[in-house]
Structure 1
């Protein structure tokens, strides 16, 4: 496995910096192909295999999932790992990682399938409003010689 795509977890948590920067907003500022930095966090109190993800601007985007962190951390220690921001999709964000040198290749974007419009609801037929004081000429009236 030379390349893989993985999700960024923890994008809804605030960062620990002074400004409590917003991870989701930072993800929204990233374009597909922007370089991201992976940093091992062996002193992380929750997971000693934690791999943090930082944008080009130095703001943390989140973490690699706990399931993938041991594999990615091991591969990072063995050699070069280069990562780029891949995309935001729905409520999540993804990165693409290449091991052993070279730039990760982004897969072709999934085309948005147009959603079917909701079925049109039939509008009720408009009935004339009854006005008891409205003028209604009598066809048999005096104008016609009745």
Structure 2
């Protein structure tokens, strides 16, 4: 596994004296570099890894279940991350390991696909 996509947790939590996390995420474009910053003195979780925008605004955290793995990979070598995107469910980052540059995964066509097994009649019966 050389690349993974992870959600940004605590995106709706407010920041002190700077723009909100969600607002900062809305300003990002998919592919923008983000910083993964270990927080060993975090009282809630010593394995916490914060995610910062290129401007230094905290966007949130990696999920607690994945943070120890990413932290271990950071201690072993180069780990890079980019902003993958934002949707109605939240925001996501793409992380690459072993010095590899992260790349955005292929996207699917936007919008709903038509149901292929049923088509309406051309003319409506009276």
What is the TM-score with the length of structure 2 in the denominator? 0.85
How far apart in 2 are the matches of 1:27 and 1:75?
Answer: 25
- Which residue of 95, 98, 114 maps to 2:96? 98
Moved more, 87-96 or 33-42: 87-96
Unaligned runs of 5+ residues in structure 2 are: 115-126
What is the TM-score with the length of structure 1 in the denominator? 0.74
Q: Counterpart in 1 of 2:46?
A: 48
Q: Counterpart in 2 of 1:64?
A: 62
Task: After superposition, give the CA deviation of every residue in 1:89-109 in whole Å (9 maximum; x if it has no partner).
Answer: 223000000011131011112
Question: Cα RMSD (Å) of the superposition?
Answer: 1.4
- Which residue of 74, 80, 97 maps to 1:76? 74
How far apart in 2 are the matches of 1:8 and 1:97?
Answer: 12
The question of 1:114 aligning with 2:112 is answered yes
Q: Counterpart in 2 of 1:4?
A: 4
Task: After superposition, give the CA deviation of every residue in 1:72-121 in whole Å (9 maximum; x if it has no partner).
Answer: 111111110000000112230000000111310111122223378xxxxx
Contact 2:94 2:104 in 1 (8 A): yes
How far apart in 2 are the matches of 1:9 and 1:86?
Answer: 14
- 4+ long deviations beyond 2 Å: 113-116
SS in 1 for 2:69: helix
Equivalent pairs counted in the alignment come to 114
Q: Counterpart in 2 of 1:140?
A: none
**Relative contact order, higher structure (CA 8 A, sep 6+):** 2
How far apart in 2 are the matches of 1:90 and 1:109?
Answer: 16
Question: What is the Cα deviation at residue 21 of structure 1?
Answer: 2.5
